[in-house]
Structure 1
Amino acid sequence: MRWSTYLQIFCVALVFVVGAQGDAAKPECSQNQPQGTDDRLKTLRSHLAQDSNNIHAYIIPAGDAHQSEYIAPYSMRRKFISGFTGSAGTAIVTRTKAALWTDGRYFLQGADELDCNWILMKAGLPTTPSQTTWLNQELPAGANVGADPFLLSINSWSSYEKALATAGHKMIPISENLVDKVWLDKPSRPDAALIAMENFYTGRSWKSKIDELRGQLRAKGTFAIIVPALDNVAWLLNLRGDDVPYNPVFFSYVIVTLDTIELYIDESKVKPANIRTHLELDNCANPHCITVKPYNQILTGIKAISDGNPTGKIWLSPRTSSFAIYNQVKPEQRYLEPSPISLTKAMKNDVERQRMRETYIQESALYCQFMAWLSKEIKSRPANLTEMSADKYMENMRWNAFKDFKGLSFATISAVGPNGAIIHYKASKKSDTKLDPDQIYLLDAGGQYLGGTTDTTRTWKFTPGTAYERECFTRVLMGQIDLARAVWPEGTHGRVIDIFARQPLYQAGLQYRHGTGHGIGIFLNVHEGPGRIAPGVPRYYEKPLSPGMFFSDEPGYYEAGKFGIRLETVVMVKKAKTPYNYEGMQFLDFEVITFVPIDIINLIDLKLMSKEQRVWLNKYNSDIRTKVGPYLKERKWDEGYNWMLEYTKPIPITDEQPPNGNSAYSSSNTVAIALVTATLMMIVNYFNRH
């Protein structure tokens, strides 16, 4: 290993370790919960014992055959078998035990939802064993571990296989999913209609995207690519669907070769005349003719492509292609690299950027109108004002206000008091809590519009916050501002600038267990790669922050049993205007596109903020007035307009700093740490290139 590799690992570890904290993983459950998974586990274990492969353990991932984050009800096998509803997490069932691994976003939720048949494994904590470490400890010598090969990516399968082999165990692909044998009332696969996207929204035709993709195939010496990721298929063909909750995608695969295009989909979806016209199915001309084939024939189609050109290379994405797909391609034909579509899709063109800006103006205006209503309602303390009723009111506002609204982009997080500490909380009939003006209220909401995907979080209190609540809120705000103000050299990954958002919290000994920024699609998935802003060891598919990428800027702070705070503003990467350009180097920064006021009335402590941060906040509030104000007036949302004016009043700008710097924050500390980290990373990159 080169010395520069050691240095790079050290740099990343330095940023991550500073923020790492938390208790050791422990088996947890609520003794008061009914043991709802008894019969399911008993039946599943009977299938393990009866399977001809003599299976000792069975892996049940959260995803579907397309490695999706959000999945349709018919794919929710892990939820069915365990009762855990979080989006991230893997269940493993042996003949005697059941365990579920999930990350810090879901520790509280997992403890609440899992019954006592299950061991909650808090992934990422020092004392929590990995899945394969636990299996190697639990299983007898030479055991067989089964999994559905469609539900694990190439990388995931390989990782399990290598780690289990060290203890003499084998990974066995089970063609018929064993959970499906237990899940007798399993829903059917959705079959919603497709939407053909106009160039007004996409900025380019699907034919031009195919041509660009074929150029990328030639550049890598490949003749075909298999596209299993649903958002990549939707983007490539300028189509949208409604098969998966919150994400406007549809079940399909595409195989693109240098000469052909094959679309594997339920054929009823492409029968409408507008879809046939959009895809030119009845009047096509090579090389843009699309052949439609049944969705379930994808493995047969892959084998035919492979057999038809036995010496050609086929591009497979290790992260989004399943092991089942991988097995259909001859070993000598496999070209493994992240799909080029993901990066192209993430770097939005000029038309897409403008549609997103417009979408966020109308979304910000709606948020103002909603908050005007909520502020008035909550002070009268009506008995029917709860987390769920507030959520439903906002959703109804969207349906009534916007013709281009197509649904929510994720399950709204409407959380009051202690519920806000559950990072991905979803109010239910069991947990639904009355809104209390004396408790902190966190609202994370977003919508799917033809022009873009929205995701906005704000935290409010309707009576004066305590000194501690104000400090926590203000430190979260300071981190959000510092990240929004960041400038960095082109080629920098998001993990390098993540420290900007965390430093104000670190200085007070506070932390949050989630990434700071995720990519966002254009009327597509609310979580989109291949860029991200988060600490930790770099992932092989991550790409540097590049112009046209949209990210959330969302630091937070959560105290179990008390409150949760998160502020989420969407930003777009753009070229920075700097007075100098060292050796011709291009620098980048962010353009803010969310314009929703911050709670400067009840939750801010100005004494903690630097002059630069206060100047930024005043400029932000001024932008809200000039950008959102006219839209509110145009819609005649007078309540929202007046509320917006109240929450965007200028705050004082002063050079006075808190005494001794004990509780104060100096933005220069963040700059120093970030610059040191960025400099070290630049040194590493220099020596790697030379």
Structure 2
Amino acid sequence: MFQSFDSTADPSQAGPRLERLRALMIEENLEGLLVPHSDEHQGEYLPPGAERLAWLTGFTGSAGAALILRGKAILFVDGRYTLQAGEQTDPTLFDIESLVDNPPREWMKAHLSKGARIGFDPWLHTIGDIRGLRKALEKVGAEAVPLERNLVDAIWEDQPAPPAEPVRIHPLSYAGEAAADKLSRLAGKLAEDGIDHTVLTDPSSLAWAFNIRGSDVPHTPLALGFAILSAKDRPRLFMDPKKLSNETEAYLRELAELHAPSELETVLAELARDGAKIGLDNARAAEKLRLLVEESGGTTVSFADPTALPRAMKNEPELRGARAAHLRDGAALAPFLAWLDAQEPESLDEIAVVKHLEECRRTGEEAQMPLRDISFDTISGAGPNGAIIHYRVTEKTNRKLASGELLLVDSGGQYEDGTTDVTRTVALGRPTDEMRNRFTLVLKGMIAISMLRFPEGTRGMDIDAFARLALWNAGLDYGHGTGHGVGSYLSVHEGPQRIAKTGTEKLRTGMILSNEPGYYRAGHYGIRIENLIVVTPPKAVPGGEVEMHGFETLTLAPIDRRLIEPSLLSVEERAWLDAYHKRVFEEVGPLVDGETAAWLRGATAPL
């Protein structure tokens, strides 16, 4: 399963490709062109034919954008990818800017001249993005121009075809609610809000609403397509018929009218012609859909994807599945960590670590629910590579492990009953006092979130600082959010919930999130400790007056005791850690062989 490099990315070809692209820009009378990392569904994980940013620049991260001007090119990435972007792109061709602190619209507002025309593919940008872009460009007298064709596609001669992998029915025993009942609830939501129709553009929304899964993008079980939900009419599902078996087609015809994706624009235009109110999610729906509706006489209404919240709030069968998946995942992680502990570091490299971990996740799959896929490309960063927050090992960057360093391994699995995501940082040989100090400060933050109680209405932004407090007190921080939402056999990065400075969504019962503070010393090492947690129902606190939510920890894997400085932990923090390790041994120990169980007993011993 390990892939050494994205087959679409070849940095050595960036120069000639930029030349050809600029020739088309001149034909279109454009000063610049925006090339985002996105597809028509605004997804994080893209099919090969949508990896336009990687093909053009060489950068393979999961977030970013390029602004190609006639005499200059800028690649915008967030803090996770700053080092990676510098290593993967030609510095003579691309300047690197912050996607967060100086996004394309702000850069253009500061640098463009009056009359500049900036082209964009309206299928690849959300309504909200283009609204912000137009507002910024108007201030300098520049113009955002929607294009009829994608200029990168026009020069990408061997562009892969759209995927057409089989669609699978997701069993009711895992989904916990029949698709017909979900669709009825969604129609009621539209009627309640006075919306005639809405377009589901997120394949995760389709997967949840229709109880289907697919294999159209790497590591996330999605079937690409669109749906139109209506307050009164039957749903309409737009999906390539080549993906549907006789059984799946019959199942979906019971739920919706089936159409080919090519019919979406025609059907939506017809629905809009009678002045219908079409709800579009400004943060998810493509600008092209807004243009189509309004040009056809319809009215667009800002309307959040109605599946997002119910999808995020897992029901009891989904939570049972998540617990079962994490238990099996823990039984795979224990032999991996035991194996790693028994090796001489110099005998391994980062790729060997990735391969062995994937083998451990697949072992015994005949007897238990099989691993469907990994949930993202495994991060295996040794020494300085661990400081690259979303490092992806390649044959070129592959590094030997060395004694005295740290190894950061961030990985996950896709099982039919749940999605996992776990990070452990492991000492290779004897860690330094600084490493132990920093690791323990990160651990204190992870424990703080784990132990937290919070009232109804609390948002992710309200609790993010708890994970950072120990680091802040030492004058340290990390450049990413503390936690992202996680799907139920869906995307490992699921909204709308997150624990971050920008996490505005209220945390509700059943939401699964990651809990992953970190610390990264560039050029030396990286530290991250990650468990998945689920928001528990509010309950009374003895002697209290307000019911409080809390978190249940799902992940079951030991935390490296050699990296912990016990004197930095409070009594309550040590008690939490000892109780967690006791649980890991009691639940995972019976599922592994005797040699691994013996290692696990030591790894989970009280401090």
How far does residue 312 in structure 1 lie from its aligned partner after superposition? 3.1
Match of 1:19 in 2: none
Does residue 81 (structure 1) correspond to residue 56 (structure 2)? The answer is yes
Larger deviation, residues 112-121 vs 345-354: 112-121
The one of 518, 535, 548 equivalent to 2:510 is 548
C-alpha contact 1:464 1:603 (8 A) present in aligned 2? no
Which has the higher Rg, Structure 1 or Structure 2? 1
Does residue 607 (structure 1) correspond to residue 562 (structure 2)? The answer is no
The separation in 2 between residues aligned to 1:566 and 1:579, in whole angstroms, is 31
Does residue 638 (structure 1) correspond to residue 585 (structure 2)? The answer is no
The one of 33, 39, 43 equivalent to 2:20 is 43
Counterpart amino acid of 2:350? E
Counterpart amino acid of 1:642? A
C-alpha contact 1:66 1:320 (8 A) present in aligned 2? yes
C-alpha contact 1:35 1:117 (8 A) present in aligned 2? no
C-alpha contact 2:204 2:491 (8 A) present in aligned 1? yes
C-alpha contact 1:448 1:454 (8 A) present in aligned 2? yes
Larger deviation, residues 522-531 vs 162-171: 162-171
Counterpart amino acid of 1:565? I
Match runs of 1:642-661 below 5 Å: 642-651=598-607
How far does residue 472 in structure 1 lie from its aligned partner after superposition? 0.5
The percentage of counterpart residues that share the same residue type is 35
Match of 1:141 in 2: 114
The one of 77, 91, 96 equivalent to 1:120 is 96
The separation in 1 between residues aligned to 2:430 and 2:376, in whole angstroms, is 30
The one of 576, 579, 586 equivalent to 1:626 is 586
Match of 2:390 in 1: 424
C-alpha contact 1:114 1:120 (8 A) present in aligned 2? no
C-alpha contact 1:576 1:587 (8 A) present in aligned 2? yes
Match runs of 1:46-85 below 5 Å: 46-51=23-28, 54-85=29-60
Match runs of 1:181-260 below 5 Å: 181-257=154-230, 258-260=232-234
CA deviation profile, 1:20-58 (whole Å, cap 9, x unmatched): xxxxxxxxxxxxx9764111111100000012xx11110
The one of 544, 549, 552 equivalent to 1:588 is 549
C-alpha contact 1:479 1:555 (8 A) present in aligned 2? yes
The 3 A distance-change label for structure 1 pair 107 and 591 is: same
C-alpha contact 1:61 1:89 (8 A) present in aligned 2? yes
Match of 2:5 in 1: none
The separation in 2 between residues aligned to 1:495 and 1:260, in whole angstroms, is 38
Match of 1:171 in 2: 144
CA deviation profile, 1:513-555 (whole Å, cap 9, x unmatched): 000000000110000011110014x6xxx42000000000000
SS at match of 2:428: coil
C-alpha contact 2:379 2:411 (8 A) present in aligned 1? yes
The separation in 2 between residues aligned to 1:136 and 1:297, in whole angstroms, is 38
Match runs of 1:259-408 below 5 Å: 259-270=233-244, 272-279=245-252, 281=253, 284=254, 288=255, 290-307=256-273, 310-330=274-294, 333-378=299-344, 381-382=346-347, 385-402=348-365, 403-408=369-374
The separation in 1 between residues aligned to 2:269 and 2:403, in whole angstroms, is 62
C-alpha contact 2:279 2:303 (8 A) present in aligned 1? yes
CA deviation profile, 1:62-111 (whole Å, cap 9, x unmatched): 01110101111110111111111111111000111100111111111111
How far does residue 507 in structure 1 lie from its aligned partner after superposition? 0.9
The separation in 2 between residues aligned to 1:275 and 1:525, in whole angstroms, is 22
The separation in 1 between residues aligned to 2:304 and 2:239, in whole angstroms, is 23
Does residue 94 (structure 1) correspond to residue 69 (structure 2)? The answer is yes
How far does residue 250 in structure 1 lie from its aligned partner after superposition? 1.4
How far does residue 306 in structure 1 lie from its aligned partner after superposition? 1.4
Gaps of at least 5 residues in structure 1 are 1-32, 652-690
Match of 1:14 in 2: none
The separation in 2 between residues aligned to 1:619 and 1:71, in whole angstroms, is 40
CA deviation profile, 1:118-171 (whole Å, cap 9, x unmatched): 01002344xxx4422322343332121100000000000111011101111111
How far does residue 580 in structure 1 lie from its aligned partner after superposition? 5.0
C-alpha contact 1:519 1:552 (8 A) present in aligned 2? yes
The separation in 2 between residues aligned to 1:74 and 1:586, in whole angstroms, is 50
C-alpha contact 1:575 1:586 (8 A) present in aligned 2? no
How far does residue 435 in structure 1 lie from its aligned partner after superposition? 2.0
The 3 A distance-change label for structure 1 pair 124 and 136 is: closer
The 3 A distance-change label for structure 1 pair 610 and 86 is: same
How far does residue 332 in structure 1 lie from its aligned partner after superposition? 5.5
The 3 A distance-change label for structure 1 pair 185 and 357 is: same
TM value normalised by structure 1: 0.84
C-alpha contact 1:145 1:170 (8 A) present in aligned 2? yes
CA deviation profile, 1:601-660 (whole Å, cap 9, x unmatched): x2110011111100100110111122212222xxxx223212211111011xxxxxxxxx
C-alpha contact 2:332 2:361 (8 A) present in aligned 1? yes
SS at match of 1:398: helix
SS at match of 2:324: helix
Gaps of at least 5 residues in structure 2 are 1-9
TM value normalised by structure 2: 0.95
Aligned structure 1 segments of 4 or more residues deviating by more than 6 angstroms = none
C-alpha contact 1:315 1:337 (8 A) present in aligned 2? yes
SS at match of 1:274: helix
How far does residue 60 in structure 1 lie from its aligned partner after superposition? 0.6
Match of 1:515 in 2: 481
C-alpha contact 1:60 1:90 (8 A) present in aligned 2? yes
The separation in 2 between residues aligned to 1:34 and 1:85, in whole angstroms, is 10
C-alpha contact 2:113 2:141 (8 A) present in aligned 1? no
Larger deviation, residues 182-191 vs 447-456: 182-191
CA deviation profile, 1:564-595 (whole Å, cap 9, x unmatched): 00000000001244335866x43101001111
C-alpha contact 1:56 1:139 (8 A) present in aligned 2? no
The separation in 2 between residues aligned to 1:277 and 1:149, in whole angstroms, is 34
The separation in 2 between residues aligned to 1:417 and 1:312, in whole angstroms, is 58
Larger deviation, residues 148-157 vs 110-119: 110-119
How far does residue 339 in structure 1 lie from its aligned partner after superposition? 0.9
C-alpha contact 2:541 2:548 (8 A) present in aligned 1? no
The separation in 2 between residues aligned to 1:124 and 1:177, in whole angstroms, is 25
SS at match of 2:237: strand
The separation in 1 between residues aligned to 2:339 and 2:288, in whole angstroms, is 51
CA deviation profile, 1:158-197 (whole Å, cap 9, x unmatched): 1101110111111111121001112111111111111111
C-alpha contact 1:419 1:563 (8 A) present in aligned 2? yes
How far does residue 273 in structure 1 lie from its aligned partner after superposition? 2.5
